[in-house]
Structure 1
Amino acid sequence: MDDIEIRKFCAQDRDWLVAEHRDAYAQAEGFDDSFGVLVAGILDDFLREQQPEHEAGWIAWQQDQRLGSIFCVRLDGETAKLRLFLLSEKARGKGLGQRMLDHCMGFARARGYRQMKLWTHESHRAAGALYAKNGWELMSSQPVVSFGQPLIEQHWEILL
């Protein structure tokens, strides 16, 4: 893992990140094409409206391959939102998720945010375990139909 870099997200990463999210979730959970459309919209908004002093995205790289992503975006003056946290299958189980989460939360703290929030699904059990291990609290959980699938939507928060 020592040779893995965490670099700032840039416009050239957009298409890879949309495809990675779309394909990973279609394969693992049967998500329909609306998920890729959502990710593309999030990234397009980020590229157009990013406030660099308050928001950032990162891509994990090993040699010439992208391995994952994580973003910290502003909700308000005291609250940041963790978004688009993804690790490729081959990057899992090596501590990279913890490293990326630490990086994102460290950025939020350094920018003066007092709390962070995120939205995910119950089926992302490894991510939920990582959040809980790091002090995040599950605030709500509800059944929904999203991306063509019945899911349990979750909202998590942490005080920084």
Structure 2
Amino acid sequence: MEISIHKGYLSGCIGRITALHADYYAQQSGFGVYFESRVARELAAFCERYEEARDGLWLALADGRVEGAIAIDGLHAPTEGAHLRWFITSDRLRGSGIGTRLLGSALAFCDERGYARTSLWTFAGLQAARHLYEKQGFRLVHEQPGRQWGNEVMEQRFERLAPRLAE
């Protein structure tokens, strides 16, 4: 199996990233149509307003098929920090190290752009992802019960300061 990382949009990636999220989180957390439609809607809007100098999208390809993704939404980076979104790998690639490579690409992009802070929303119980985030300098800064993905979970916000600010 040939695994590579592609930077930027590829035809069909919105649907494939949405499907990866819908399948994984339906099994993992019982998320349904609300979650899937939100991922599709927000990812499509991101891709439509994508600016190469500000935003980033990386796709993990296995034999040419999208099997993972991560995005950096830089729309509000100057005031609120960059937003890490849609980080996922398929079961086929989970444990292969591709998640670490995707996250590294996204954070290098943030550092190159001089983004002072990068944040993400997730929820309690996703230990493998949390481990990757913390290994890259993210820290839990807020936790609250919520329903932003359709089902009630313990929502968590993680932030990472740019290396020059974290010292």
* Equivalent residue pairs, number: 159
1:19-65 Cα distance to aligned partner (Å, 9 max, x none): 22112111221102101111111112112211211101111001132
Q: 1:88 aligns with which of 78, 90, 95?
A: 90
Post-superposition shift, 1:83? 0.3
Distance 1:147 1:77, change over 3 A: closer
Distance 1:147 1:109, change over 3 A: closer
- Retained in 2: the 8 A contact 1:119–1:154? yes
- Retained in 2: the 8 A contact 1:73–1:80? yes
Residue 123 of structure 1 aligns with which residue?
Answer: 125
* Structure 2 residue 18 is the aligned partner of structure 1 residue 18: yes
Scaled by the length of structure 2, the TM-score of the pair is 0.88
Instruction: Mark the runs of 5 or more structure 1 residues left unpaired by the alignment.
Output: none
CA RMSD across the alignment? 1.6
* Structure 2 residue 69 is the aligned partner of structure 1 residue 69: yes
Distance 1:81 1:147, change over 3 A: closer
What's the % identity of the aligned pairs? Answer: 33
Q: 1:157 aligns with which of 146, 159, 165?
A: 159
- Retained in 1: the 8 A contact 2:58–2:70? yes
Residue 132 of structure 1 aligns with which residue?
Answer: 134
**Higher percent of residues as strand:** 1
- Retained in 1: the 8 A contact 2:18–2:39? yes
- In the TM superposition, 1:52-67 aligns within 5 A as 52-67=52-67
